[in-house]
Amino acid sequence: MIASRETRVLVDAGLSCRELLKRMALANEDSSALDAILITHEHTDHVAGLSVLARRLHIPVYFSEPTHRAWVRQMTPRTTMTYAKWLERVQKEKEARAALDAVETAESADPELCEQSGPIQIAAASGEAEAEEEDAPEAAIRRDPASLPSVEYFQPGSSFSIGDLTIMPFTTPHDAADPCGFVFESASESIRMAIATDLGYMPPNVKRALERIDVLLLESNHDLEMLKDGPYPWAVKQRVLSRVGHLSNHATAEFLSRDYDGSATYIVLGHLSETNNAPELALLSAEEAIRERGRLLGNRVLLAQQAAPIAPIHL
Ligand SMILES: [Zn+2]
Ligand SMILES: [Zn+2]
C-alpha cells in the first residue's frame, strides 16, 4: 500500500480480501480510504483477492489493457466440452448449491465475510453478494466473475496520476501478458517509491526506472542452490530461472553491487519464495552487496515476508 498526503493505492491483491483487510488494519491503515488498486500482472499470487476486494470497497482497478484482458480470460475460462461432461458439471453445480443452501440455513452469514476460501466458486460468490447487497447487481456478478466497479487502463512507459500521486509503470521481463513495475512520486513531498518484483533479469529500462528512488521494494526470489536442489519439477525450475522468471538473491545482489545508484533510504526485499529461499540468505546476500560499495551503507535493508505485513515506513 502506497500513501501520499491525499492518495492511497494498493499494488496487487494476491491474498484473499479478508486477509488483505486484516493486514491493512494491522498496519493501522483504513481500507475504506483506499482510492484504487493497481495490478502489475495477472498471475494468481497478484490477483487472487482482487475482484472481491474491489467490489467490496467500490474502487477502480488500474491495469494495462493486455493484463486486464488476460485476467478476464482467466476469470471466465471458456472450455469446449462434451455433452456428457456438461451434464456432469450441471449435476456438480446442483450439488454444490444444495450443500451451500444447507450451510446457509444452518448458520447466519457473517457480515464481515469477504469470500469463502476453497474450491467451491458458488460459495465465494455468495459471500461477495452478502457484502454488496445494497447496490451491486448480484445476478450480474454471478454471471460475470470478472465484473469490477470500474476499470482504468495505463500503458507501461506512460505516466498517469491518481490524486497527488504520479505513477510511472515500467515493463518487466516476466512470463505474463504485459507485466510491469511502478514508480510512485508524490509531488507535494518529492518522495519516490518503486516496486520491482517478478522479473527474470534486470534489463536497462528497469535499472533506469530504479534511479533516484527513496524506498525500493525489490524482488529477491530464490537462492540458486536451494532452487536447484529443491522439490520443484524440472520445468518449473527452468521457468523460475529463465529470463522471464524471477530474480535470484544473487541477481539482486549483483544489481545492488554493480548498477544501483544507492539513493534509497530503505530497500525492502520482497517476493521471497517460501520453498526456495531463506530470509537470512536473502538479507545476507543484499547486505554483502551493499557493503562491497561503501557509499551505499546509508541504505537500510528490510525483509518483506509472506505471513505478516512489515511495519509501515514513513518518510
Ligand atoms: Zn508473476
Ligand atoms: Zn509473483
Distance 101 CA to ligand 1 centre (A): 36
In angstroms, what is the span from residue 41 Cα to ligand 2's centroid? 8
Query: Using CA atoms, how far apart are residues 259 and 139, in angstroms rounded to an integer?
Result: 52
Phi and psi at residue 162, in whole multiples of 5°?
Answer: -130, 115
Give the pLDDT score at 242.
95
Q: 240 C-alpha to center of ligand 1: Å?
A: 10
Ligand nearest to the CA of 11: 2
Would you list the DSSP string of 218-273? EE--B-HHHHHHSSS-HHHHHHHHSTTS--BHHHHHHHHHHT-----SEEEEE---
Residue with cell 475504506: 32
Show the cell assigned to 127. Answer: 459471500
Contact 172, 199 (CB under 8 A): yes
Q: How far does the centroid of ligand 2 lie from the alpha carbon of residue 87, in Å? A: 36
- Compute, in angstroms, the gap from residue 95 CA to the centroid of ligand 1: 34
- How many angstroms is it from 81 CA to the middle of ligand 2? 31
- Euclidean distance between CA atoms 43 and 186, whole angstroms: 28
Q: How far, in Å, CA of 76 to CA of 69, rounded?
A: 11
Q: Report the distance separating Cα 248 and Cα 209, nearest Å.
A: 19
CB atoms within 10 A of CB 9: 21
Q: What is the pLDDT of residue 172?
A: 98
Cα(247) to centroid(ligand 2), Å: 11
Q: Where is 166: in which H helix or E strand?
A: strand 165-171
Closest listed ligand to the CA of 272: 2
> In the numeric block, which cell numbers belong to residue 27?
498496519
Ligand 1 centroid – CA 181 distance (Å): 11
| pLDDT of amino acid 314 | 92
Point out the ligand nearest to the CA of residue 239. Answer: 1
CB-based contact 51:37 (threshold 8 Å): no
User: Tell me, what's the pLDDT at 119?
Assistant: 37
Cell 518518510 belongs to which residue?
315
Q: Are strands 191-196 and 180-186 parallel, antiparallel or unpaired?
A: antiparallel
Query: Pairing state of beta strands 8-11 and 266-270?
Result: unpaired
Considering only CA atoms, which of 262, 267, 256 is closest in space to residue 303?
267
Expressed in angstroms and rounded, the spacing between residue 96 Cα and the centre of ligand 1 is: 31
How many A from CA of 175 to the centre of ligand 1?
7
- How far is Cα 145 from Cα 236, in angstroms, rounded to an integer? 29
* pLDDT for position 138: 64
Query: Three-class SS of residue 194?
Result: strand
Ligand 2 centre distance from Cα of residue 133 (Å) = 32
- Name the DSSP class of 201: S
pLDDT at residue 142, as a whole number: 64
Q: How far is the CA of 306 from the centre of ligand 1 (A)?
A: 15
Cα–Cα dist 257/56, whole Å: 43
Query: What span, in angstroms and rounded, lies between the C-alpha atoms of 74 and 166?
Result: 29
Q: Which ligand lies nearest the alpha carbon of 173?
A: 1
The one-digit pLDDT tens for each residue of the chain (315 residues) are: 999 999 999 999 999 999 999 999 999 999 999 999 999 999 999 999 999 999 999 999 999 999 999 999 999 876 666 777 777 877 887 887 777 777 655 544 443 446 444 333 333 333 444 444 444 556 666 668 899 999 999 999 999 999 999 999 999 999 999 999 999 999 788 899 999 999 999 999 999 999 999 999 999 999 999 999 999 999 999 999 999 999 999 999 999 999 999 999 999 999 999 999 999 999 999 999 998 887 777 789 999 988 999 999 999
What is the reported pLDDT for 279? 96
Strands 2-3 and 151-154, bridge-based pairing: unpaired
d(CA 123, CA 104): 10
Ligand 1 center from residue 180 Cα (angstroms): 10
Specify the pLDDT at position 169.
98
pLDDT on residue 129: 41
How remote is the CA of residue 179 from the centroid of ligand 1, in Å?
Answer: 8
